[in-house]
Structure 1
Amino acid sequence: MTATKTTRRTNAADHDKPAPKDAIALLRADHTAVRQMFTDYEKTRSVATKMSLVADICSALTVHAQIEEEIFYPAVKAALKDKLLVPEATVEHTSVKDLIAQLEGVEPDGEMYDAKVKVLSEYVKHHVQEEQNEMFPQAKATSLDMVELGARMATRRDDLLAQAA
């Protein structure tokens, strides 16, 4: 058993960092985590749980959008010479941020609050589908170093989370 652990560490060390996550894997993991939070929100009736989940959703989406806009999108736009996918994704981020602003720090007050969370969920679902079905495959086909990009994004995410704490 010890030999296996040593082997894994050696292999991970060969790649600079243990278990490097490429940019797309990092973004997909974020998408999955947020989707689960929306699912949990739909299942709960507790006002306290709703508030907590919305705070987590808003925080996760804000950080996710920022690392995409600062690091991932500029790299993809340059690599693809893109004039449509990235600008459209950026506009979608603006709509998401508008809804986040309407939800942050607000106590759940019934159907309008739930409606805003539902619309936010639908915007995010649409945005995620476009990224995963269109942008990510095209980005993978470029010469971008996705592991290096992912490392930069992970570092920036850690910085943003530390600032928020």
Structure 2
Amino acid sequence: MSTDASSLSPSITSMIRLDHMHVLAASHRYHASTPWWRKRAIVNGVCDALEIHAQLEEEIFYPALDRALDSDETLKKSRPEHDQMRATIAKLRAMGPENAAYDGLFFQLIREVAHHVADEETVLLPDAERMLKNELQPLGAAMTRRRMQLLGERPMDIAVNAAGTFPIATLLLGSTILLAIRHCLPRSRRAGRGRS
């Protein structure tokens, strides 16, 4: 990517904050009374987002921060926290929403994530903004490229989970698209269908 294109990219710290906000906002859609199919969609969507986010941080953000900071305790404990999160995600994926432990395990995951997010947003991101000032946008561009690769590995899962997480918005969007397509079809084609 050219230097000009990198300068248009959001900073890596902005992208990380957006990821945090996305996951925490999606988790607020989950309630014990939520229908099972929506619980599954929310949990799968959150888990996919967390797995991708952790991989991006480990491949791009943490190595850059590791170079800038000599030895940081918060950074050292970040990778084990990701491992713990992955273990909780594996347990969630191994059970379904009909399991009595599902709600509690999801809420445990969100508590783990909230603790991790607090550490990153109060320590690591400000450190990165101070120590990596000139690298933030190129790192953001690298993160965007890698995210697109990772998202490309599971497009149907992401679409299905998004539809289940936001069913009303999906229905409205789908209806709008169908109406737009119908409106754009030539009248003769629509009239021809009516005669059959």
CA distance, structure 1, for counterparts of residue 20 and residue 29 of structure 2: 14
Residues 8-54 of structure 1 deviation map (CA, whole Å, 9 limit, x = unaligned): xxxxxx95268521000000000000001110013752100000001
**1:104 maps to which of 90, 93, 112:** 93
1:89 Cα deviation (Å)? 0.6
Give the ranges of 4+ consecutive aligned residues of structure 1 lying more than 4 Å apart after TM superposition: none
TM-score normalised to the size of structure 2? 0.72
| TM-score, L = length of structure 1 | 0.85
> Aligned pair count?
152
The 5-angstrom pairing of residues 2-151 of structure 1 reads 15-16=4-5, 19-42=8-31, 44-104=33-93, 106-144=95-133, 145-151=135-141
Q: Which residue of 2 aligns with 1:164?
A: 154
> C-alpha distance in 2, partners of 1:157/1:49?
25
Q: Which has more radius of gyration?
A: 2
* Identity score, percent: 31
SS at match of 1:24: helix
Structure 2, unmatched stretches of 5+, are: 156-196
User: Which runs of 5 or more structure 1 residues have no equivalent in the other structure?
Assistant: 1-13
Q: Name the aligned partner's letter for residue 89 of structure 1.
A: S
CA distance 1:118–1:149, shift in 2 (3 Å): same
